[in-house]
Amino acid sequence: MLDYLDRVDELESSENPFATVILAHLMTRQTAHDPADRCRWKLRLMQPLYQRGMSREVVRDMFKMIDWMMDLPTDIALQFETELLLFEQEKQMPYVTSIERHGIEKGLEQGLEQGLEQGLEKGELIGQIRLFQQLLKQPEQASDQLQSQTTDALQSQLNKLRQAYTAIR
């Protein structure tokens, strides 16, 4: 596929869906460290799909593939969605129905709720670990080291510290 890197204009003007897939792959690689540029390319790849008069199903399938390949950070993904929605409204061809949008919003809310709960649980475990480390006069672990551990790993570490503290009491 890298052989096509110097044929971007040709790929972009092609009506062959595989040309779009190849271009999405190339631009995913090329924008690996530039999310804003990736967002621009993602929009640039999506807009012609609507303009070529492809069916809604084909546009959706292509979108799913491009969206999977060209993943964006949350803040830039929101910008992408807004710009794509504006484009869809102009073309009067919505990608997502209002029912689907509502489902997506509900899923995001639930995901945020679960993330918050997990974050609070993790925070409590880290606080308890630090307390036992102080009581045992052990050096405290770096915050990023503790944050990178799973909840199960933190719980296991806390249990060991509790046992060590109980043994010296």
Clarify whether residues 53 and 128 are in a common domain.
no
- What's residue 27's pLDDT? 92
Query: What pTM does this model have?
Result: 0.52
Per-residue pLDDT, 26: 92
Q: pLDDT tens digit string along 101-144?
A: 667 677 777 777 777 777 778 888 888 888 888 888 888 888 77
84 and 4 inside one domain: yes
**Residue 130 shares a structural domain with residue 53:** no
* Rounded distance between C-alpha atoms, residue 77 and residue 86, angstroms: 14
- Is residue 60 a part of any domain in this protein? yes
Whether residues 85 and 154 share a domain: the answer is: no
Looking at the fold, whether 73 and 7 belong to one and the same domain comes out as yes
pLDDT, tens only, 42-81? 999 988 887 777 777 888 888 889 999 999 988 888 888 8
Ramachandran quadrant class, 46 (left: phi over 0; alpha: psi -120 to 50; beta: rest): alpha
How many whole angstroms separate alpha carbon 160 and alpha carbon 133?
A: 11
Distance between first and last Cα of the chain: 66
Q: What is the separation of C-alpha 96 from the centre of its chain, rounded to a whole number of angstroms?
A: 19
Assess if residue 106 is contained within a domain: no
CB 63 within 8 A of CB 95: yes
- 50 in a structural domain: yes
CA nearest neighbour of 95 among 66, 69, 61: 61
121 and 64 both lie in a single domain = no
Which one-letter amino acid corresponds to residue 19? A
The reply to whether 141 falls in a domain is yes
Domain that holds residue 149: 113-169
d(CA 25, CA 126): 41
Domain total for the chain?
A: 2
62 and 132 share one domain = no
Cα–Cα distance between 27 and 5 in angstroms, integer? 9
In percent, the amount of the chain with pLDDT more than 90 equals 19
Contacts of 146 (CB under 8 A, 6+ apart): 126, 129, 154
Task: Find out whether 87 and 50 touch, Cβ atoms under 8 Å.
Answer: yes
Last residue of a domain, one of 53, 70, 96: 96
